[in-house]
Amino acid sequence: MKVNLLTDAPKHNLALMKLSAWHKEQGDEVLFNMPLWGGYRYASVLFDKTKIDADQYGGPAIENSRLENEIEIMKPDYDLYPVDYSLGYTYRPCFRGCSFCKVAGLNHPDTMHHTIWEFYDPKFKKICLLNNNTFMDKKWKLTFHEIWEEELTIIDENGYDLRLLDYEKAAYLKQTKFDGKIHFAWDQIEDERQIINGLELLKKFKITGHIYVLIGYDTTEEQDLHRCQKLIDFKQDPYIMPYGGTKKGKRFKRFIDSFMWRKYPTIEKAWKDYKK
């Protein structure tokens, strides 16, 4: 049997890597992103606007999609993508239920803790965790200890919940090797007290990161400037995530990305000059 795996994912696609492993185990021929070559076609769709002709669909853009259990437990086929890291979850869900985020609506296969040994390949010295909220996992420390045991470097794709940060968690992050800066987020203005507590801990442990800042959803321009200023005051870099792709949101993102605000005493004054 010939199997064709199709996706719009730019870097990697864990579901297709598991499907590839399962079908190769059955003796099937697996093709990747070759829609004109026939066979049974799976499409894993990341973006809502993507149109792919396939026999079976899944992915974040497809409601209630999930792999069959016998495929879900497969170790990924690392030959499908030219990656230099292991890829997987030790904990899938996030129970925040944020209305702007798709995670709450995803059909996760389980809410259990998993070991890295389910997807880790010893030929790699890096590991990409796809966890949506690692610190919600009651066994989160086990994940870090396994990573330390293998002396792995984490590729931080989804980040860590700054609202859940405490002294112990900050110490674990500080002890861990990361490929680049750690990601955090400040999405909603009402979380300010918890965010500031987290920022204080980052400062104490001398951890600098990229802080995602959601704009254009339920915050005002003044609140967006306020959050960015607070992050800058703590020596953290704001990374703007415009909701809905408005011109104003894209302009504010260009403003922050330009770093021209570093020449000004406040982000508000820099923004006023930028808008002129």
> Is residue 252 a contact partner of residue 242, using CB atoms and an 8 Å limit?
yes
* Residue 51 CB partners (closer than 8 Å, separation 6+): none
Which amino acid, one-letter code, is at 65? S
List, as one string, the DSSP characters of 188-235.
-GGGHHHHHHHHHHHHHTT--EEEEEEESSS--HHHHHHHHHHHHHTT
Chain centroid to Cα 57, Å, comes to 22
CA nearest neighbour of 61 among 134, 7, 110, 131? 7
Within 13 Å and on the Cβ side, how many CA atoms surround 187? 16
Query: What is the structure's pLDDT at 207?
Result: 97
Query: What is the structure's pLDDT at 152?
Result: 98
The pTM for the full model equals 0.92
Q: Where are the domains of the chain?
A: 1-69, 181-276
Phi, psi of 211 (to 5 degrees): -105, 110
Q: What is the pLDDT along the chain (276 residues), one digit of tens a residue?
A: 999 999 988 889 999 999 999 999 999 999 999 887 788 999 998 887 888 888 888 888 787 888 999 999 999 999 999 999 999 999 999 888 888 887 877 777 889 999 999 999 999 999 999 999 999 999 999 999 999 999 999 999 889 999 999 999 999 999 999 999 999 999 999 999 999 999 999 999 999 999 999 999 999 999 999 999 999 999 999 999 999 889 999 999 999 999 999 999 999 999 999 987
Q: How far apart are CA 130 and CA 94, in angstroms?
A: 12
